[in-house]
Structure 1
């Protein structure tokens, strides 16, 4: 099939079908009974619900969109198996693309670009879908996913706002808008959009997530904790990422408020153990255990269980953001395979797809060296490696709150290095953070310790 870069490049479709999905988009199916599986994928994907996987039950339907949805589902594994598992579905979708609608053809082309590793083209096609078929919210959500993995907040926002005039009745779109605004540091608009979503549907976990981000960023820690707990009863039927990640945010509030025992309980009950083999659950566990330790909270033997599951990730190299956390988790557990993963990252970086190669080479590689150094007590090495990566850290994707882990590790290395210049640098960073988050007991303790090390204990008392 010839490469498609815009919707105009697509072949002319067959006559429109009469069947429509839950958002009013026409779909091409062999068996009308497959429509429920289509609706489960679309509705489940935008609502972060596990029912999205039900599309696999219709995999025998040769309808091209069914096959494209199945291919996308395979890619969401975020593992080395994603591409080979997706290709048979994609091939069937492309084989029948001539009878698909223009909208379906655009989605198939975008998934093909994803499978081929051409994320620039995938994002461009999703933006074209948002402009021309704005109620294709599964496409909007997938486009946001790609932008998120590149640290492109404006791209996330542009996709959602393109669809908003035509799908304002859908609460999940307001959640997408909210997170796009939050990643662009537009907190007032983010909160307004999240609350608009919740006014339509209380069970909108992505809007909960966006509002949790706003409150964390603005230092509204007690309010954020109360809010997230107040809606946690609605976190049912979600995919493992969404339920564990929202509880991960609850744990962040608890850590900063000094409620260590409760934070550990959240980890044990809600963060680790839902889907231990899933990439997002694994990095959620790694990043939370690391934050516990950085806050002075003992984690016992918890690293060991996580590391056992990370051993399957040594050759994945799907996203640099994931590899860095796999590496740190293995290193903190004392696993020698951390060196193997580091070697794999270094070898993969120059071979990565063009659209992500700079992120691998200029950010992931130095960050990986820095993280391994920190995990093994080489704080000078950690400062050097992470110091090189931090100015461009957004390029590896993840949210501001997630990437904050690497900044915390770098800060910890500055403190533990204990030199006058590194302590001075740590003081500047910590005091600025404390100024914006005065409720944070974690930051108070860390700042006080640095002032004491600098011979300024009285200033630490005033700061607290």
Structure 2
């Protein structure tokens, strides 16, 4: 395994057949046209491209007995965390199984089919482990590399993401057409595990090798966010908008990162403009888009910004997702949306739904029990103005909050809410503890932390004055 700063000098051909990197002739693809269609699917998937579904549909039209194609569609459905797509994924598994029996399956194909079954059975962690085991035998398979990265991201498994990439990194030489995309995944995993210098360096190289590697671009943005360099982050993103213009709704998330840079600079007018013009350009109910929007509005409100009627749209969409019980990260952002939109009864219904999820003997059921229920209770208390209770619920969720998935930057909204609740409840010492713990994770103070530390000191001074016996009135 090379050191994290090892960089290739040559530029791989971005248009090369991605299957050549893995002895793709062993796949059960009937001809060169089907092979080219699958290679195009893989590349679109690596680049978060809008054409991924069309490329996959083209592959399956040319190769209806391609088990991996059917299983990939099912896993893509599950990654979207929508209740109605679970049945679609189940049907995809049945088709994949039928294709496996009809045409056979390469070990990589079989692993993807079985990983789909694992997740459908409630064990995405088992799916990830299965794919990693197969990846160890086929380290140059870029599709497996990106797929397991995506699943571990949903699981909030930063260490697993990093170990997965570093296990196969040595198999990606300068000629591998997916080298840039692998480096982008490596950069993100490094950032999420606190290796900020290496993450920035490798992420920049990823974008050099693959100018459309939006994941690598956004990994560098994460570094700037976590190290308190908002201006450098702004310059990086605004100078590379072409790297994510081709993306599916992931482009909204990259715009969200730019909004965070402007928020840290105190330019809330620009944040609102980015929200309206880019982040909610398409008013979908995709949970990733909702999470971008709800967490940004929440950050603005914590800063005292009036966001107008923007919560209403999110609350209406969140009402339709109360009983999904697919993804706790999605549920918590639905709680933000319902709370921000003043939907008290619906928020109660969502808490009950999360509690039901917590009773399931599944990976996500355990996450709901350990992190989802206390976090949702804390959010509900916050919106009801019970800040003491909000702090204690959110504080109880914090040790397990990474398990809901997403990134440090995405989950930071819950850190901010816990700190804000502590301050509003007059818990200066607890607020300071959370700020210091947040600093230890991030590596640098940002504007939010600096201003809250000032509030902590103000509360401490007020408490000192209140406790000064010399200032008490003496009875006549």
- Aligned to 1:453, which of 459, 465, 474? 459
Bigger drift between 98-107 and 177-186 goes to 98-107
Aligned to 2:375: 367
The verdict on how the C-alpha distance between 1:87 and 1:59 changes in structure 2, with shifts beyond 3 A counting, is farther
Aligned residues: 434
Match of 1:334 in 2: 342
Give the superposition deviation at 1:203: 2.5
Q: Secondary structure at the residue paired with 1:455?
A: helix
**Aligned residues of 1:181 and 1:190 also touching (Cα < 8 A):** yes
Q: Give the distance between the partners of 2:231 and 2:448, measured in 1 at CA.
A: 14
**Deviations along 1:371-393, whole A, 9 cap, x unmatched?**
11101211122012111111221
For 1:92, the equivalent position in structure 2 comes to 95
Q: Distance in 2 between matches of 1:127 and 1:381?
A: 41
Deviation at 1:279, TM superposition (A): 1.4
Q: Is this contact kept in 1: 2:226–2:444, CA < 8 A?
A: no
Contact map agreement 1:59 1:70 (CA 8 A) in 2 = no
SS in 2 for 1:195: helix
Q: How does 1:236-247 map to 2 (within 5 A)?
A: 236-240=245-249, 242-247=250-255
Q: How does 1:198-347 map to 2 (within 5 A)?
A: 198-240=207-249, 242-274=250-282, 276-335=284-343, 336-347=345-356
Question: 1:444 and 1:157, CA in 2 relative to 1: closer, same or farther beyond 3 A?
Answer: closer
2-structure distance, mates of 1:199, 1:298: 40
Native 8 Å contact 1:257 1:442 kept in 2: no
Give the Cα–Cα distance (whole angstroms) in 1 for the partners of residues 21 and 294 of structure 2.
Answer: 37
Distance 1:129 1:294 in 2: 46
CA–CA separation in structure 2 for the residues paired with 1:37 and 1:173: 21
**1:412: which partner in 2?**
420
Cα distance in 2 between the residues matched to 1:131 and 1:291: 41
For the structure 1 residues 432 and 148, does the alpha-carbon distance in structure 2 shift closer, same or farther, using more than 3 Å as the test? Answer: closer
**Which consecutive unaligned segments of at least 5 residues does structure 2 have?**
1-16, 464-476
- The 8 Å contact of residues 44 and 51 in structure 1, kept in 2 or not, is answered as yes
User: Structure 1: which 5+ residue stretches go unaligned?
Assistant: 1-18, 458-464
Change (3 A) 1:23 1:285: farther
**CA displacement at 1:74 relative to structure 2:** 2.1
- Across the aligned residues of Structure 1 and Structure 2, the Cα RMSD in angstroms comes to 2.3
Residue of structure 2 equivalent to 1:56: 57
* Whole-angstrom CA distance in 1 between matches of 2:394 and 2:222: 24
Greater mean alpha carbon deviation, residues 93-102 or residues 423-432: 423-432
CA change 1:113–1:430 in 2 (3 A) is: closer
CA-CA distance at 1:255 after TM superposition = 0.7
- With the length of structure 1 as denominator, give the TM-score of the two structures: 0.88
> How many angstroms does 1:201 deviate by?
2.2
Q: Which moved more, 1:380-389 or 1:139-148?
A: 139-148
Residue 188 of structure 2 corresponds to 179
Q: State the alpha-carbon separation in 1 of the partners of residues 126 and 444 from structure 2.
A: 44
The CA distance in 2 between the partners of 1:82 and 1:301, in whole Å, is: 31
In the TM superposition, residue 282 of structure 1 has moved relative to its aligned partner by 1.0
Relative to structure 1, the CA distance from residue 120 to residue 341 in structure 2 (aligned partners, 3 Å threshold; closer, same or farther) is: same
Q: 1:166 to 1:432 in 2, by over 3 A?
A: closer
Q: Aligned partners of 1:47, 1:376: CA distance in 2, in Å? A: 42
Q: TM-score w.r.t. structure 2 length?
A: 0.86
Distance 1:135 1:438 in 2: 36
